[in-house]
Amino acid sequence: MARRRAEARREEILQAAAQVVARNGFPRTRVADVAAELDISPALVFYHFETKERLLSQAFSHAAERDLERLGQVVAAPGSSLDRLASVLRLYAPVGDAIGWTLDIDAWAEGLRTPEIRQATTELDRRWRGALEQVIRDGVVTGELRCDDPAGSAQRIAAMLDGLAVATQVRHSLSRDQAAAWARDYAAHELGLDAVVLAGS
């Protein structure tokens, strides 16, 4: 029972930390801010996470896990590889208030200085690229996609998507609709498709 309570408390702290980081950014988030969010002592936060860096890196991973669960469902879903590819592209794109992308971009910047956060962002990127690569490989097997280098194509498409997210979320130099269209166009070009096919999936 005590262990379950401790796990539940740890989960609450991670969720609160993700919310505070989304509002304040990584550099401006203090352990005291996270504790205040839950009306607990900073000492309790440190009891569970030992350091601020560990708290923030695990909060980032925790927030990303929901998106990764949805990604896994898309990759494992029945249906054509084209439909799954289109779904992955939509899932990757910023939507709504795009808190996930706000955390991602902020984590990229913080990862330049904080090894634990850099490791968390690297793992997230690896899993996204791996899922995209799997969908491409499946499409090659079924003959829906033409690609001699699924790993390379997945990396190039993911890099393009990252750049489009920065353009829409940070620079506001591109609308989300335009970014989505460019993402489909690029993925189609990379995989020997007509972009209209992806738009209709």
Report whether CATH 1.10.357.10 matches the domain 60-199: yes
What local confidence, expressed as pLDDT, does residue 147 receive? 95
Question: Cα–Cα distance between 61 and 9 in angstroms, integer?
Answer: 17
SS3 state of residue 95: coil
Token readout for 55 is 């708290």
CA proximity to 132, closest of 147, 143, 121, 119: 147
> CA–CA separation, 167 vs 70, rounded Å?
24
pLDDT for the residue numbered 172: 92
Q: How far is it, in rounded angstroms, from Cα 157 to Cα 38?
A: 40
Where do the DSSP E strands lie in 112-189?
Answer: none
- Digitized pLDDT (tens) for each residue of the chain, 201 residues in all: 556 677 889 999 999 999 999 899 999 999 999 999 999 999 999 999 999 999 999 999 999 988 899 999 999 999 899 999 999 999 988 776 667 788 899 999 999 999 999 999 999 999 999 999 999 999 999 999 999 999 999 999 999 999 999 999 989 999 999 999 999 999 999 999 988 888 766
> Is the CB of residue 154 less than 8 Å from the CB of residue 129?
yes
* Residue pointed to by tokens 């189609």: 188
Q: How far is CA 161 from CA 52, 60, 156, in A?
A: 30, 20, 9
- Residue pair 95/175 in contact (Cβ under 8 Å)? The answer is no
Helix (H) or strand (E) holding 131, with range, is: helix 115-142
Q: What residue spans define the domains of the chain?
A: 60-199
Identify the three-state secondary structure at position 52: helix
